[in-house]
């Protein structure tokens, strides 16, 4: 797939354009109006007590970034404080951290967090307005206006005076229909590729699980491990509780952090998600405020094995990652554990693989407290009681080498598919931007 901008540039244009007078909008169709947003939509600021209201609730967490889709079913959320009232046909736009691009077309009456502005279209249609405010240039301008370092918010007074494009009503409907059709096609491709990644990850998981429970020699003599979820293991292996493989198990530290990444010379606190899916991601962190002294004993080092303690999704609680490389000044948070293996009994890289095996996952998920979507967590005693199949050290190292070679091929394919998804998303965003700013004439699209 080619560059997203090139793709949209090949589409049909309007016969005549005029200068919009706005640098980021450029030229616009000659017959479109340019007004301030406050003349295209009203801000509705009706407050209600969410705890005493039965209407469905929408929070920022319920809206998917950039797509405008609701992530959870309408009515799943609960508000316990003051909320904004909205009605069907309104547009909800996130003013907190605008770079997240949270906007939604309300399909029913409801209440929402005060961090969502309720906009009631006047001379623009709901769907067109949602697509317009999700234009990356619009989002970028709003984001540049925010105030507050920890909780950056945009102000309606600023947003209200941003330019809004107003095509004739029939064109607005045509643009909305065109984008519905085209984005549905792109979304279907993305979903197909996501499923491909899931299948590759399942293959990866099966490969790891087999290696750390059955070994590499298909002819090795086997014995009953005595553990239901382990089954038979090589006869010369031992089934051991993790407590016998560790010198120490520690939990991190979580002071109040800033809502941004740490600079190269700043200290940062890792998020629980840095160990998701068995891979360490050092970008999953928040900056430590400059006036807070770092607890340097929690600095993450290459060679560490870390594990997620708590997460909103059961499947990610207990995810373990081996730290191959890590920039300095990143600290363990209190939602992460660091496991220190006994070097005479367990290779850290093997421990990481074994913790991500299906047998270990089965033990973890049986022990997790809380329902899916709540504060699911795993305790230190639970981790120490996990039973792993442990071969001699030299065999552990051979398994690590084998798994790395085999999974590197799978990871390479996954990376290519992920890149193709990124390109599809870029194309989706560019297509919406081009349509709502008049760079393409959807009426001439076949």
Tokens at residue 127, please?
């769907």
> Is residue 29 helix, strand or coil?
strand
Total number of residues shown for the chain: 446
Q: For residue 312, what pLDDT is reported?
A: 67
| CA-closest candidate to residue 133, choices 428, 432, 426 | 432
pLDDT in tens, the chain (446 residues): 445 554 555 678 999 999 999 999 999 999 999 999 999 999 999 999 887 888 999 999 899 999 999 987 766 667 768 899 999 999 999 999 999 999 999 999 999 999 999 999 999 999 999 999 999 999 999 999 999 876 889 999 999 999 999 999 999 999 999 999 999 999 999 999 999 999 999 999 999 999 999 999 999 999 998 888 888 999 999 999 999 999 999 999 988 887 788 888 899 999 988 998 888 999 999 889 888 999 999 999 999 999 998 776 777 888 999 999 999 999 999 999 999 999 999 999 999 999 999 999 888 888 775 544 445 788 899 999 999 999 999 999 999 999 999 999 999 999 999 999 999 999 999 999 999 999 999 987 64
pTM, two decimals, is 0.78
93, 114 in Cβ contact below 8 A?
A: no
In DSSP terms, 419 is beta-bridged to: none
199 sits in which H/E element? helix 169-214
Domains along the sequence of the chain with CATH: 4-189+420-444 (3.90.220.20), 216-390 (3.90.220.20)
């Amino acid at each position: 797939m080619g560059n997203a901008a090139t793709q949209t540039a090949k589409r049909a244009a309007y016969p005549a354009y005029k200068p919009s007078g706005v640098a980021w909008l450029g030229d616009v169709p000659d017959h479109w109006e340019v007004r301030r947003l406050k003349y295209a939509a009203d801000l509705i600021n009706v407050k209600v007590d969410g705890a005493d209201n039965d209407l469905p609730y929408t929070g920022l967490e319920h809206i998917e970034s950039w797509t405008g889709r609701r992530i959870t079913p309408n009515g799943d959320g609960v508000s316990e404080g003051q909320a904004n009232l909205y009605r069907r046909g309104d547009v909800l736009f996130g003013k907190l951290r605008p770079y997240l691009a949270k906007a939604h077309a309300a399909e029913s009456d409801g209440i929402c967090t005060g961090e969502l502005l309720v906009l009631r279209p006047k001379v623009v249609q709901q769907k067109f307005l949602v697509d317009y405010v999700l234009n990356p240039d619009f989002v970028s301008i709003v984001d540049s206006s925010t105030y507050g370092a920890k909780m950056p918010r945009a102000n309606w007074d600023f947003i209200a005076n941003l330019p809004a494009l107003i095509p004739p009503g029939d064109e607005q409907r045509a643009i909305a229909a065109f984008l519905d059709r085209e984005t549905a096609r792109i979304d279907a491709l993305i979903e197909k590729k996501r499923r491909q990644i899931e299948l590759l990850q399942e293959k990866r998981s099966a490969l790891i699980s087999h290696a750390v429970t059955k070994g590499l020699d298909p002819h090795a003599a086997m014995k009953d491990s005595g553990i239901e979820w382990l089954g038979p293991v090589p006869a010369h292996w031992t089934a051991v509780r993790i407590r016998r493989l560790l010198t120490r198990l520690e939990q991190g530290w979580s002071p109040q952090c800033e809502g941004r990444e740490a600079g190269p010379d700043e200290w940062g606190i890792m998020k629980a998600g840095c160990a998701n899916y068995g891979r360490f991601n050092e970008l999953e962190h928040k900056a430590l405020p400059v006036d807070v002294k770092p607890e340097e004993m929690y600095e993450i080092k290459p060679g560490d094995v870390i594990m997620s303690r708590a997460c909103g999704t059961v499947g990610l609680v207990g995810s373990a990652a081996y730290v191959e490389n890590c920039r300095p000044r990143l600290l363990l948070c209190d939602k992460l554990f660091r496991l220190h293996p006994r070097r005479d009994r367990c290779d850290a890289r093997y421990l990481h693989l074994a913790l991500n095996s299906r047998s270990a996952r089965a033990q973890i998920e049986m022990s997790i407290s809380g329902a899916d979507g709540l504060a699911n967590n795993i305790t230190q005693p639970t981790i120490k009681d996990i039973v792993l199949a442990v071969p001699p050290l030299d065999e552990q190292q051979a398994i690590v080498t084998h798994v790395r070679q085999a999974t590197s091929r799978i990871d390479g394919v996954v990376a290519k598919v992920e890149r193709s998804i990124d390109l599809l998303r870029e194309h989706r965003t560019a297509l919406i931007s081009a349509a709502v700013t008049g760079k393409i004439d959807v009426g001439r699209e076949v």
